[in-house]
Amino acid sequence: MVTPNLSAPIVLQAAQAVAGDQHYPAGALYVVATPIGNLGDITLRALQVLSLVDAVACEDTRHTAPLLRAYGLDRPLLSVHEHNEAEAAADIVRRLRQGERIAYVSDAGTPGVSDPGARLCLAVQRAGLRCMPLPGASSITALLSVAGLATAASEGPAFEFTGFLPPKGANRQAALRRLAQQAHACVLLEAPHRIVSLAQDLAALGQRVVTLGRELTKQFEEIATLPCADLPVWLASREHRCRGEFALVLHPVIPAASSRSGGLDGESLRVLALLLQELPVKSAARLGAEITGAPRNALYAAALDLKKA
The whole-model pTM stands at: 0.76
CA distance 115 to 81: 9
Alpha-helical segments (H) within the chain: 8-19, 44-52, 61-70, 85-97, 118-126, 139-147, 169-181, 195-202, 231-236, 266-276, 281-292, 296-308
C-alpha triplet 135, 138, 139: angle, nearest 5°: 175
pLDDT tens by residue, the chain, 309 residues? 434 435 557 889 999 999 999 999 999 999 999 999 999 999 999 999 999 999 999 999 999 999 999 999 999 999 998 889 888 999 999 999 999 999 999 999 999 988 889 999 999 999 999 999 999 999 999 999 999 886 544 455 688 999 999 998 899 999 999 888 888 899 999 999 999 999 999 999 988 999 999 999 999 999 999 999 999 999 999 989 999 999 999 998 865 434 455 557 667 777 888 888 889 999 988 998 888 888 888 888 888 877 765
CA distance 24 to 132: 9
